[in-house]
């Protein structure tokens, strides 16, 4: 409730042990949880939900990290807020050269999936774990770099047989939550740790922090495109404020 009221991430700085006694506190302690960050989902200043990140050890959370988490929460909130779209609006393309909202949501989700796997060092993407390419009928299509949609031509993107809106949004929620969790566990010095980005020129090093910032900038562009498509269909919503 505090998170929703303040509209900013809330941290249990002194640990779960100092929270008021209730069933939630008992549950967290029983699970060995000592540290919780609650991130509000706040598109257009209106709370639509909360994501909770938890850890077994206390750690200092910097202002920069909280700001980053707030930005991620805003992005997820926009996706949730736009869940009121019907299937036709979700799949509508304003022109043969302009992808649908479905494509943009899938694309930014694929980048979040790629990012979380890269930062975690596991290389394990949720899309691969759940076999979404085969389930959604994408197998055999050229999905661009790292199967994220980057570099796809108009005809290929238009031919993608996207499943129902809820399936795409469910995937987006999962990967944004996972990306937020991975980023939230990074310490300050880890933002300078080199990571393996398959886009990098051979021999070039990319820092984890740069990867996160590149992701936010990239996603902001696509959120703007989603906002534009909402407006073209007479719908309200903003992805840039």
pLDDT of residue 152: 87
Q: How many C-beta atoms lie closer than 10 Å to residue 34's C-beta?
A: 18
55-83 burial by CB neighbour count: b if 16+ within 10 A, else e?
beeeeebeeebbebbbebbbbbbbbbbbe
Q: Is the predicted pLDDT of residue 6 greater than 70, yes or no?
A: no
pLDDT band at 241 (very low <50, low <70, confident <90, very high): very low
Calculate mean pLDDT across residues 203-223. 83
pLDDT of residue 167: 92
Calculate mean pLDDT across residues 24-45. 79
pLDDT band at 161 (very low <50, low <70, confident <90, very high): very high
Distance CA 17, CA 14 (A): 8
The average confidence (pLDDT) of the chain is: 81
pLDDT of residue 240: 41
pLDDT digits (tens, 9 = 90+) for 180-207: 888 888 888 888 888 887 765 555 678 8
pLDDT band at 162 (very low <50, low <70, confident <90, very high): very high
pLDDT digits (tens, 9 = 90+) for 41-95: 776 666 667 777 777 877 777 778 777 777 777 777 766 665 567 889 899 999 8
pLDDT band at 7 (very low <50, low <70, confident <90, very high): low
| Whether pTM exceeds 0.75 | no
pLDDT of residue 130: 94
Calculate mean pLDDT across residues 101-119. 92
């Amino acid at each position: 409730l505090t998170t929703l009221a303040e509209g900013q991430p809330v941290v249990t700085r002194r640990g779960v042990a100092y929270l008021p006694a209730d069933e939630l506190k008992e549950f967290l302690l029983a699970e060995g949880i000592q540290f919780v960050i609650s991130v509000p989902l706040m598109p257009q200043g209106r709370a639509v939900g909360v994501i909770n990140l938890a850890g077994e050890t206390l750690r200092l959370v910097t202002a920069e990290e909280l700001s980053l988490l707030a930005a991620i929460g805003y992005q997820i909130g926009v996706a949730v807020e736009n869940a009121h779209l019907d299937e036709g609006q979700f799949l509508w393309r304003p022109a043969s050269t302009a992808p649908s909202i479905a494509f943009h949501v899938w694309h930014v989700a694929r980048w979040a999936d790629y990012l979380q796997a890269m930062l975690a060092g596991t290389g394990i993407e949720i899309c691969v774990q759940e076999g979404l390419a085969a389930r959604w009928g994408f197998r055999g299509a050229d999905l661009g770099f790292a199967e994220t949609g980057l570099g796809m031509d108009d005809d290929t993107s238009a031919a993608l047989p996207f499943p129902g809106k809820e399936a795409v949004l469910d995937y987006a929620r999962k990967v944004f939550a996972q990306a937020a969790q991975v980023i939230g566990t990074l310490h300050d010095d880890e933002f300078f740790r080199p990571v393996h980005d398959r886009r990098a020129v051979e021999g070039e090093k990319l820092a984890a922090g740069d990867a996160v910032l590149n992701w936010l900038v990239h996603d902001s562009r696509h959120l703007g495109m989603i906002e534009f498509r909402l407006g073209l269909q007479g719908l309200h919503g903003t992805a840039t404020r």
